[in-house]
Structure 1
Amino acid sequence: MLDQYIELAKTHNQLGSFELSRETFQQAERIAKRQNADPAKLVEIKHNLADMDQIRLDMRRALRTYEEILEIMPEDERAYRAIIDLHYSQGNQLEAIKNLDKLLNLFAKHKQINKIAKLLEELVRSYPNDFGL
């Protein structure tokens, strides 16, 4: 049943029924919590909600949702990256750097040195005025 709600929400989104899509994702989230569903499913739902919030330019809500994702899955790279970009877009470089540090530590912990270099290069290109990078 949970998977059907997720698919229905995605279909509503593709058809441009964004409010209905959001409501359906929220219903799916409630079902996932009630069923003690796999955390990955809940994270998938929350990523979709956060993505929709970004499209609607509700950055605060998106930021909160990405932070909730990290509470569920503390090593979610996509959530960290989104949080970093959101903080930069809001002019909050200090918070962006704090979260970048957490993500870089995560990469180092898993010995993913190539990801560290790639991410830093990407961020320097995207935010050339941030001397903290």
Structure 2
Amino acid sequence: MRTIFYSTPSQFSLPTSTLNLYVRTAGKLAFPVTDLVYLQATGNYSWLYWQDGQRMLMPHCLKYYMNQLPSEWFIRLHRNCIVNLNYIERTECDPIDCNGVVYLHSGLKLAVSRRQWFAVKRLLVWHKKRAPRAAFLSI
């Protein structure tokens, strides 16, 4: 089993873009993408998980958000999950059947689809090169 460790989220500089969402109680609000940890699909709805532990259920599929999020900071792990690269602590892959897993700094474990595994690894290596202050350790 190969494990790759990444740095803490505070060591990265993220783009200052925002995600415009309509909240029923407050209307249209702009949320910084720096605080968005990951998104998970549930049918035609999406759960958005934030750094402070909050989560929001929004009436859009993940494809809607993929077009709004910066592609250099977010990657689709599976058909039902998009994750912010800055919150990935480490990755693991079983060499026999190549079932990939991504561990977040919060301790959460997210599955990576077999077809996406190499794209995820490639983007994480590229991300590491763009953020030279990141601690990168391969065991």
TM exceeds 0.5?
no
Task: Place the TM-score, normalised by the shorter chain, in its bin.
Answer: 0.3 to 0.5
TM-score, length basis structure 2? 0.33
Structure whose residues are more often strand by fraction: 2
Select the structure of larger CA radius of gyration.
1
Higher RCO (CA 8 Å, separation ≥ 6 residues): 2
